[in-house]
Chains A and B, each alone.
Chain A
Amino acid sequence: MSFLTKDLALWMYERMLLIRFYEEKVREFFAQGKIPGFVHLYAGEEAVAVGVAANLRKDDFITSTHRGHGHCIAKGCDVKLMMAEIMGKKTGLCKGKGGSMHIADFDVGMLGANGIVGGGAPHAVGAALSAKLRRSGQVAVAFLGDGAMNQGVVLESLNLAAIWKLPVIFVVEDNQYAISMRSLTPTELQPRVSTARGYAERAGGFGIPAVTVDGQDVIAVYEVAREAIERARRGEGPTLIHAITYRYYGHFEGDPLAYRSRKEEEEWRRRDPIVIFKNKLLEMGIASSDELKRIEDKAMKEIEDAVKFAEESPYPDPEEAFKDVFIEEYY
């Protein structure tokens, strides 16, 4: 807590709100048929992306997942361009060619959301390898879901990061479910996908230090991420952070959620990461309720502006489909 300045704390609060408001708006628009394709919402997990990103430089790297909106916003992607992208508009961050699962913005070190579970993990390893060889002092963060921890390429990535002692941090966002399959603790409805006692234990098998953290407490995440990222910058190698969290909505919008109970969802919502953080900011006297209200209003306005921008933006010209396959105009 001692390192958390007021500016940074308020930035974190604002980012968490932006993610929540963005996701709520996407949910609303998806239900209205304004957003094509599949969307996977990050609401409920905000403290993880923001607590980690609060420790990153603009030129540090992250790789993300199919549930990537929160990582993008935390790393500094423009929400207007993101909103346009997921509506398939020409003005989108990726010209409307990627959509929700493929948002990237290399200018802020966001190396890509990913439609393949675990697919981005080795990219973070490679970005960290590049940082190490170029002696740039940059670090890379691979955001992963609990489901990705059973993908071969993720386990390969852990091994490569360990043997090459790379400045990479694996952040396992354990939101309890890999689609419908239970992460670590079986319930009466669902069997589990791993017999590990925790993902930290599994990292230990690769010789990677690991820590488990309450993913609803952004200050707790900030502190463990701070230590891991400083360690990486010092050249001491990778760390795995196992963050226990919860996704408020289904795997995707339209998921009937038959695999978990409404009671369980209510229990988790009682530990809302934004409410927890807000109460802390007030209790500790870091900010007044007026100050927080102004941040809330500003974040809401930013999302409303993003929606307006996206809705008013044109769709791409159909011929655009043939561009950007290669550097040259060829397909």
Chain B
Amino acid sequence: MRVCPTHAIRVKDAKAQYRSETCIDCGVCLTACSRDAIGATTTSVEDLSRFKFKVAVPSPVLFGQFPIGITPAQIVDGLLEFGFDAVWDYSVDINLVARAIQQYVDQWTGPTPLISVSCPVVVRLVQVLYPAMVGQLITIQPAREIAGREAKRHFSTKFGLREDEIAAIYITPCQAKTISILQPAEGVVSNLDGALGFREIYNRVLACASLKRSDGSKNSQPPIVRNSGLLRTHVSEGMGRLVQQHRYLQVTGLSNTIQVFNDIEKGKLRNVGFLEAYSCWSGCAGGNLTVANLYVAGTTLRAQARSLPEMDPVTEAEVERRFSTEDFSLKAPVRPRPARETALKERVHMRQLAEDVLATLPGLDCGLCGAPTCKELAKDVSLGDASKDDCVFLSEHRLQELRRVYVRSAA
């Protein structure tokens, strides 16, 4: 409850509840709660059986999850063994998106910085805590969405299938991207059909890949990762490498990101043109569904990137071919959440009420009332969502009630 950066969690009747309108899907609560009181939203493997053709769209950081010596091609074989019919390499898609962003940033005349929408937590953070900046979110779809659309188009043409018979499944390092696919922030339908976390596929893919490595059998697949661009954008370098000549800033980690947004709000960061923020420390390799140690994964990815060329002719030609024919813009604008409708006078009144309540609270932020801090309880009271008597210091009754729930011998 207390770790939630947007104070979206309350404990009512010994159960954690969250307010979906202020939750940003960061997953901090999942990591913090040792009692599994909070579960992640995922797609189950069974959900996939209804599709005729299943294509995996792995996040590039997947290739850094396995022991050194296991190649991307062996990992692809593992995914096919897992049950996918194909695996999509989105090197081309990421370069297309980088180009679209470059154009967008070049033509922009509004307030800066422009903010990348690659990390879904950052998008929701802006919606909830920095609503005035939603106009600065770059309205270009993330590369994974473009990849999903193209993968479906590609295989439907190739095998004469309808697009709804094909599932494009993102292999994800975090639950936030799963939610961004199942319930996009713009309120539209994602191009992807679901997501599986690294943890769900890891063991079977590892077993298969290790076998391939030890028996030295030839890979059935052509090399999936043809150039280092895709990997590099996911190990510390970010899109700044592809989108050039703009005052670029990259920040990772949720608390660091919040700090940067606060600075933007105070007018301290006037010289940044393009901001790429990631909720996870060190970027997607630090996602909450990853398996490998974050730093080891980074080293593995960098080692793989070193042995590959910056760009290859096949990818380059494909980027050239597709760029002029596709539309990369988001399907709908991102709007502030929750919608604010009260008049200033009303807001002043509520704030005054909350301040008066706060003055009567002990200020210990013990959390026994079910709100994370005294200040949050005071706010809840002003909104009519809680009572002052939820505070154990103000109500004997509340204390006895908690004793009954939490202390077994008192029951």
Decide if A and B are genuine partners: no
**B-to-A contact residues, CB < 8 Å:** none
A residues lining the B interface (CB < 8 Å) = none
